[in-house]
Amino acid sequence: MRVVEMHDIVKDYPLTRALDHVDFALDSGSIHSLLGENGAGKSTLMKILYGMCTPDQGHIQIKGQSERITNPRQAINLGIGMVHQHFMLAPVMTVAENIVVGSEPDTGLLFDSRKAALVVDQLIARYGFCIKANERVSNLSVGEQQRVEILKALYHGAEILILDEPTAVLTPQEVEELFVIMRELRKAGKSIILITHKLKETLAIADTLSVLRDGRMITSGLSIEGVSADDLARMMVGRDVDLEMTNRSKTIGPISLQVRGLTLKGKEKNILSDLSFDLHRNEILGIAGIEGNGQSELIEVLTGLAKAEAIVFQHEGTTLSGDAHDFIQLKIGHVPEDRSTRGLIKEMTVEENLMLGYHRSPRFNRRGFFRPSAVRDFAQRMIKDYTIKTGSSRQRCGSLSGGNQQKVVIARVFSEDPDLIIVAQPTRGVDIGAMHYIHERLFELRDQGKAILLVSADLDEVRRLSDRIAVMYDGRIVSISKPGEYTETQLGLMMTGSSVEGCKDDNQA
């Protein structure tokens, strides 16, 4: 049975058509993956179904009945629940209180908390949620908070559950746990829409899938049977994408950056202990490691945001000071790991962000006078070269999707033609089209003779891009190797501080 049918949905925003005559249908008791790159219109389509957003055109049927859904309360009454990318829980309240609030409008917080806890406990047991009803939400991990949101929807009678990129905030293990819960829910007859741009996840759990691209429905209600990752990538991006692309440097050049004895003290112990490495021209040196093992601090020291206790630090034979401004002068480019706080100013326009920190560059000035037209021309070129999806160069950067924001940062840094580039988490939260593009640019820059230091928590990415791989654990570099020297498992072990020798022995045994 069709539990949801959306017909001919159109949604216009001032600068973009977010949805262009879209049809969508959901079968009862199935998991339906709604795929699409950032900005494709996935959230908008589902916000329309959940009554958070009104379409300009089109109509919706729930279980065969035509419905006008104008607010979430109405959607909830129709059995629709939605878990958003950003959770909306009250941290000081318990799990049960968070779940029940909203259905107890008259009593407010004075509801029968014991009865609520009982009902919530039953739900937790029934679907195997592994959380405690009387636990405070502030004590829960992100994955657990997400389960509370799902429970909340179920408590309010959801038969149709929309999950908007639920795995973006989860560790691989939590993703597995979520999938177990989703399968339980399907068994119980619930219908689930999983919004994602991750192909692996779609292939792992979906029964059917739909693909949105640029506001258009490319594929609607396709069965997962016989579909490959390459097929999905092609539908999402609109062309073939080589998901396994690697490209090693042909000739490693002379040393660009030399770091010796880098030590950074923390309150109790060293955050960075005696790091030494060389970075060559025509080389991508990848730093692999589980987040929190000193990678962020390493970048802070290298970009002058933190001062090390000890360091010998040379760029092209010149010793550097610790001032960020000197680094830019020295043509060191930096793509920061957190684009939303360090890379961009969201309130500013795309144009302004593209020249952030470079406004004194000769490119934008003539005889000491700033030239707005030069900025506009430059912005137009960057938007075209990097296919930045934006209504205009004067749109606020904050309204762009994550992937397009990242392209703005990368366009700015790369266009300044730095000799040495420090890139941190360059494709985090970025869709595959943009990821592929960013990777190609990095190879191109490397082949032009740039020295690139790549820091990424994504081991696949490090292995694919790097000419050498350094593994960081507990503030130290525990190994530097060529790709292929160690297997993925062995690198993974080193990232957790285990010895690879032990692993080799195990393999032989």
Ligand X SMILES: Nc1ncnc2c1ncn2[C@@H]1O[C@H](COP(=O)(O)OP(=O)(O)O)[C@@H](O)[C@H]1O
- Name the token pair of 420: 């040495």
Identify which of residues 41 and 475 has a Cβ nearer to Mg ion in the complex: 41
Q: Parallel, antiparallel, or unpaired for β 57-62 and 160-164?
A: unpaired
Q: Which does 18 bind (CB under 5 to 8 A by kind): Mg ion, ligand X, none?
A: ligand X
Contact between 113 and 101 (Cβ < 8 Å): no
The least CB distance from residue 88 to Mg ion, in Å, is 16
What is the DSSP secondary structure assignment for residue 290, as one 8-state letter? Answer: -
- Residues 356-395: x/- map of binding to ligand X (CB under 6 A)? ----------------------------------------
When binding is defined by CB under 6 A, the residue of 167, 249, 295, 401 that contacts ligand X is: 401
Site string for ligand X, 20-49 (x = CB under 6 A): ----------------x-xxxxxxx-----
The residue among 160, 155, 182, 161 whose CA lies nearest residue 170 is 182
> 43 vs 191, which CB is nearer to Mg ion?
43
Burial of 242 (0-12, 13-18, 19+ CB in 10 A): exposed
The minimum distance between CB 56 and ligand X, in angstroms, equals 13
CB-nearer residue toward ligand X: 35 or 471: 35
The item of Mg ion, ligand X, none sharing an interface with residue 399, based on CB under 5 to 8 Å by kind, is: ligand X
Q: Which of 314, 349, 361, 399 binds ligand X (CB under 6 A)?
A: 399
- Tallying the residues shown for the chain, one arrives at 509
Total Cβ atoms within 10 A of residue 412: 22
> Which burial class, exposed, middle or buried, applies to 323 when counting CB atoms under 10 A from its CB (0-12, 13-18, 19+)?
exposed
**Closest CB to ligand X among residues 40, 354:** 40
* 353 lines the binding site for ligand X (CB under 6 A): no
Residues 39-68 that bind Mg ion (CB under 5 A): 43
* Helix 488-495 with 500-508: angle, nearest 10 deg: 140
| 196 touches Mg ion by CB under 5 A | no
* Piece in contact with ligand X (CB under 6 A), picked from 10-18, 229-237, 292-300, 486-494: 10-18
- Asked if 343 is part of the footprint of ligand X (rule: CB under 6 A), the reply reads no
| Binding partner at 28 among ligand X, Mg ion, none, C-beta below 5 to 8 Å by kind | none
Q: What residues contact 214, with CB distance under 8 A and at least 6 apart?
A: 20, 39, 40, 41
Beta bridge partner(s), residue 423: 335, 454
Structure tokens at 373: 């037209």
Q: Which residues bind ligand X (CB under 6 A)?
A: 13, 16, 18, 36, 38-44, 399, 401
